[in-house]
Amino acid sequence: MERVDIPVTQPYEVMIGRGLINDSEVLLKPFIEGRKVLIVTEENVEGHGYLKNLKDNLNKISDQITFLCLPPGEAQKSILMVERIISYLAELHFSRDDVLIALGGGVIGDLVGFTASIYLRGIDYIQIPTTFLAAIDSSVGGKTAVDIAQGKNLVGAFHHPVAVLCDINTFETLPTSVFEDGCSELIKYAMIMNEPLLQYLVDREEPLNAKSLDLVEIVKECVIMKKNIVIEDEFDQGLRQLLNFGHTLGHALEQSSKYHISHGRGVALGMLVFTKMAVSQTYITEDFPLIFKKLLDEYHLLGEKPHYTAEQLIKVMQSDKKRRSDQMTIVLPSEFGHCELKVVDIKTFQNWFEKEWDSYEIHKRN
């Protein structure tokens, strides 16, 4: 098993390995013993037996384990659901000494993290990510949130988990498209700050899959990158915004499509459009988006061009958190495996984006 420590205000550890849920009795004992525990999960995760496995293990160290199993999907990330969980915790007399567990992907992690951040002004929670995407990004770093009609993640808090247990075997039961969504975030890490990783992904003979032998190492490398960013900028005032590469447009596409466009696909298209923008602004050369598009295609991350107009998308992007008064911070590639933050005024951004979106075509896969 690999361990990565995250030395933030309240330090914690990310444990990464295969079959870790089988060992959760031992690995989570320090956080569970003698406490009430509510596991929040979703139906797909339960269907694959991970909830039962976790409960059976934790029952050996606490006789106060309960669970809530939600339907899958972004719709669960709502204030209404937070209220439901909070009422349940109150009915069960959960105190500040008790603990929540998020067993699932990014939706469950964000929802449980946010609920833990506000119940009794904050209780402990543990992240057990079961998707590649949640493992390498959303389960680490303490960002928690729910969506409202006006935008994704517009209500949230910084609240770090007390531990992250990442069992790589759970990725094997993911639908391929969900695993590929995680690859979009992996490619994002490589693009923003890791040229060797980007080159490695470009050079691979076979695309990565859930059984790839190097997956533990890759998750660890991403968690270390995230750690390095988060310890520099825990509260998202500067450097951490690099992690939003592709997300400004990605979130707008997710939201406009009522979440039919997945996070990974939205981010992939967002990264490609902003990479083309970087060419137009002469930050990078023209061959760059071609290599990048080929990589995204290998993971089936690009589909038909969504039918929204530039104007519609700009409107949604302007309600995003990355905006400040009349300026926006955007993330653009400046080298192969390196991105930079650019502060641009809204008008300039609108012009840049309109030009890029109107001329954007998704060509057939090579």
Residues that bind ligand GLY (CB under 6 A): 137-138, 141, 143, 236, 240, 243
Compare residues 74 and 356 and give the one whose CB is closer to ligand GLY: 74
Find where tokens 């533990």 sit.
Answer: 216
Query: Cα separation of 44 and 151, whole Å?
Result: 26
Q: Are strands 143-148 and 151-158 parallel, antiparallel or unpaired?
A: antiparallel
- To ligand GLY, the closest distance from the beta carbon of 301 in angstroms equals 17
Paired residues of 344 in beta bridges:
328
Compare residues 17 and 246 and give the one whose CB is closer to ligand GLY: 246
- To ligand GLY, the closest distance from the beta carbon of 363 in angstroms equals 30
- To ligand GLY, the closest distance from the beta carbon of 366 in angstroms equals 30
Helix (H, G, I), strand (E, B) or coil at 127: strand
User: Is 173:48 a contact under the CB 8 Å cutoff?
Assistant: yes
- To ligand GLY, the closest distance from the beta carbon of 243 in angstroms equals 4
The token pair that represents 103 in the structure block = 């067993």
Compare residues 62 and 144 and give the one whose CB is closer to ligand GLY: 144
- To ligand GLY, the closest distance from the beta carbon of 112 in angstroms equals 16
Paired residues of 164 in beta bridges:
14, 127
Compare residues 38 and 107 and give the one whose CB is closer to ligand GLY: 107
Q: Mark out the alpha helices in 17-122 (DSSP H runs).
A: 24-27, 29-32, 43-47, 50-58, 79-91, 106-118
- To ligand GLY, the closest distance from the beta carbon of 269 in angstroms equals 17
The token pair that represents 71 in the structure block = 């339907």
Neighbours of 91 (CB within 10 A): 8
Compare residues 1 and 231 and give the one whose CB is closer to ligand GLY: 231
Query: What string of DSSP letters covers 251-267?
Result: HHHHHHTTT-S-HHHHH
